[in-house]
């Protein structure tokens, strides 16, 4: 197993992470700030994508697109807070984009882990993965006694609030407003006597 630093992969990952921050803010009202604690928010986002993927059946390329964005963000958080570099990890005759930690030189693949999280579900929990990476690198996380990072603010799960906000702004046509995690469409404002329409559901990958 070997590792070769690659500035092109680093540039690609940093760009993907920046795009992910904007997507999370714009479409899900989730603030990602490069803190260790923000990986809990990434885990919550990945769980929602996993649940949606079971029904929406996105293509492998679509899954990888989001895995790359979220995995790049995870890798950048680790790099900025604990030290690492992007490059190519060689495994036998194969090679993959990955990272090497500055301390103890452990190798890891955040893109692949995020992909596995979407496909396999909670068994590939990214928050647990991140904690293990930090531990193996000899770092520490600031956490409460309950295991929650001290600066963690969980993404809102209140679908009602998202719908209410969308209704307040709605014109006669339907407006879509993704809430913090689920991307639930808002509904057009209608008279109280009319029946509420069924929520319009879009494939999860079309929200980003």
**CA-CA distance, 203 to 54, in Å (whole number)?**
11
Question: Cα angle at 138 between 137 and 139, to 5 degrees?
Answer: 95
pLDDT at 27: 85
pTM of the model: 0.71
pLDDT digits (tens, 9 = 90+) for 142-155: 554 444 444 444 34
Q: Summarize pLDDT for 26-67 with one digit per residue, the tens.
A: 988 999 999 999 999 999 999 999 999 988 889 999 999 999
CA angle 41, 203, 198 (to 5 degrees): 105
Query: How many whole angstroms separate alpha carbon 207 and alpha carbon 23?
Result: 9
Cα separation, 113 vs 126, in Å, equals 7
């Amino acid at each position: 197993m070997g590792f070769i630093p690659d500035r092109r992969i680093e540039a690609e990952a940093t760009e993907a992470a920046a795009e992910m921050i904007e997507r999370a803010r714009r479409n899900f009202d989730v603030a990602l700030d490069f803190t260790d604690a923000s990986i809990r928010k990434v885990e919550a986002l990945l769980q929602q994508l996993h649940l949606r993927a079971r029904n929406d059946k996105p293509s492998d390329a679509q899954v990888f697109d989001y895995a790359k964005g979220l995995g790049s963000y995870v890798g950048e958080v680790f790099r900025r807070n604990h030290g690492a570099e992007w490059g190519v990890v060689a495994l036998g005759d194969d090679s993959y984009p990955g990272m090497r930690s500055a301390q103890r030189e452990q190798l890891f693949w955040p893109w692949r882990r995020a992909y596995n999280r979407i496909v396999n579900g909670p068994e590939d929990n990214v928050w647990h993965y991140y904690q293990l990476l930090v531990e193996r690198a000899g770092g520490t996380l600031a956490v409460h006694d309950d295991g929650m990072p001290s600066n963690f603010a969980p993404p809102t799960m209140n679908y009602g609030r998202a719908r209410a906000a969308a209704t307040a702004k709605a014109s006669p046509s339907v407006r879509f407003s993704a809430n913090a995690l689920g991307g639930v469409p808002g509904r057009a404002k209608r008279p109280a006597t009319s029946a509420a329409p069924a929520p319009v559901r879009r494939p999860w990958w079309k929200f980003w």
